[in-house]
Amino acid sequence: MANSFSVRRFFSRSGLLAAAHSQYEFRSGQLEMALAVESALDENRHLIVEAGTGTGKTLAYLVPAILSGKRVVISTGTKNLQEQLFFKDIPFLEQFFPGGIRACYMKGRNNYACRQKIYDAEREPILSGLDEVSDFAIIREWEKTADTGDRASIANLPDGSTAWAKVDARGDLCSGQKCPSFEKCFITLMHQRAMESDIIIVNHHLFFADLAVKEEEFGAILPDYAAVIFDEAHELEDVAGQYFGLSVSSNQVEDLRRDILAVARRKEFLSHDLEQMLTLMLDHADRFFSLFPQQEGRSGFSHHQQFLQQHSETYRNLTSVLELLAAHLSLVRDAPDELIPLHRRTVTLLVNLRQWMEGEEQGNVYWVERRGRGVYLQETPIDVSSLLRERLFSGVPAAVLTSATLAVEEKFDYVRERLGLEGVREMIVPSHFDYANQALLYVPHHLPDVRSPGFVRAAADEIRVILKHSRGRAFVLFTSYQQMRLIHDLVECDLDYPVLLQGSAPQRVLIQEFRSTPHCVLFATAAFWQGVDVQGDQLSCVIIDKLPFAVPSDPVVDARIRSIRVGGGNPFYDYQIPQAAIALKQGFGRLIRAKTDRGVLVLLDNRITRNRYGQVFFDSLPPYKFTTRLEDVEKFFDEE
């Protein structure tokens, strides 16, 4: 009861938050969510909460987590949200807790510097070019006073710095406790802070990396915890799939060769035999990976036996040289500590390659991706629900899943089914925005079907007209890079507004530029559909080209569709539509971020009004005012 009283004291009309923050506005939904989270943590129950934009869900889960007295892991969709929680929300709440809040954040190892690599780099020639030398000087000076070792705290290091990759703390070369710098290592300090913390803020990738290695001895990344809260929980299926599968790539082979050569030269155990072995490994790997599809992108792979019969010699050559290399590394005399992770990587690469080529585990989909020069052999679980049920939800006493987009037609059937949740409490907290007056949803009926050849040019014409009425101030979001580039090239020259294109600069830089440039237009794809917050009339229009159905030819999507069909389900209604409805909500969610925001949402895909399934999308979206008339769009903007 004491805790319930405490939560009410925070969120009531005249409570602690109202007294501390002049802009605080009482929201009954926020209080209801806080009480539900508190109850889930107290009674060790799982909870799903869809909390509409503007409900204040972050504080609604953070306050009860702090009050619970338990160690709670908070897992976010992005590193940006992690940093907001730790550097903004936690410090704000500390004023109410005289004893302080024991909190920390943890990121993947490549976000942190390795002190030993920095010290070694001063003595050994690992840097190349003036840019790397200059960047290293920045890193070296920063390291002397760095607290956490997080790259995000270096303000003046360029985004694309290649020097950072040579001194970051990824585990590929980590010798652990045998490292001379282990005691003051940033990773060691991160783990120590986590052991001393009640609130541990991570991102989904780190959380599932930890869950995937929990089975291994000494594999855990996170300390034991009593509860986990997932913010942006709509991403869990995809992230979990990445970490419960495996990946073997040509880049792993190249990196392994480079690192063995570097350590062998530095520690003076490079022999003629080892050098020959590394050259052979690279040659055999080049031949092996060249046997896979040459086209850029992802393609399914299901003919393992046929492939092995046809290319057995090439495959055996690669596995044999990896075996020889592992044996050679294990026999190096007076082996330096740096050799331990290199030997482990060689063995892991061999084991994973064999599992991918010879395992063919039922329930997994095998696929190949070519990105530039890199070839990636991937294995992904078709259905992660049973894995999550066994390894997450049955193991952690309380799990809270929240997002602005989890329900489809105001029901949680889809997310429960996909994530393996059973006996879970459910709650929908509506947004307190007045969507009917703040937002207009426009679907142009006169455009051709999105699948017809004439759609691209007609869509470009429509976008020009809409952007004229909105006076720029728009995100134009696409379901594919190709479509984005095509329409951008058709439209850009005719616009009187500054235009930004995804890929021309890092996402953070583009968002910053969009915010600071009046009447700006940003052309982008999926990376900008979520986690991007631009308040005010700087963003007054969001245009989406198509209903965001996952590409059915994608090997993972295709495998999931076939699995549902084999199980007697209807993949279109059970999987494809709900997934697209949630994605559409995410895209449209960029527009109305505050009670004073106004704007027009445009969906150029009129299948939403012409096909029966379109009603599922309408029933899943907030209650926007709706029109099919361009004149209403013009009128809406004229009223500003």
The per-residue DSSP string of 581-605 comes to HHHHHHHHTTT--STT--EEEEE--
Give the pLDDT score at 4.
43
Which pTM value belongs to this model?
Answer: 0.90
Give the pLDDT score at 505.
80
d(CA 341, CA 387): 29
d(CA 213, CA 231): 22
Lookup result for tokens 């990196």: 255
Q: H-type helices in 230-370, by residue range? A: 236-243, 250-266, 272-289, 304-310, 312-330, 339-354
Domains of the chain: residue spans and CATH: 2-102+384-429 (3.40.50), 108-180 (no CATH), 246-379 (1.10.275.40), 435-638 (3.40.50.300)
Give the pLDDT score at 3.
44
CB contact at 8 A, 377 and 248:
yes
| Distance set, CA 393 to CA 24, 384, 401, 422 (Å) | 35, 12, 11, 9
**Containing H/E element for 448?**
none
**Among 335, 415, 337, CA closest to 180:** 337
3-state secondary structure of 466: helix
d(CA 597, CA 535): 7
Tell me which residues of the chain have a pLDDT lower than 70. Answer: 1-5, 124-125, 215-219
Give the pLDDT score at 568.
95
3-state secondary structure of 123: helix
Give the pLDDT score at 533.
79
Task: Please give the radius of gyration of the chain, using alpha carbons only, rounded to the nearest integer.
Answer: 26
E strand intervals along 525-579: 541-544
Give the pLDDT score at 35.
96
d(CA 493, CA 491): 6
3-state secondary structure of 380: strand
**Phi/psi of residue 63, nearest 5 degrees:** -60, -55
**Phi/psi of residue 202, nearest 5 degrees:** -125, 180
Lookup result for tokens 């089975």: 215
d(CA 177, CA 436): 60
Give the pLDDT score at 266.
79
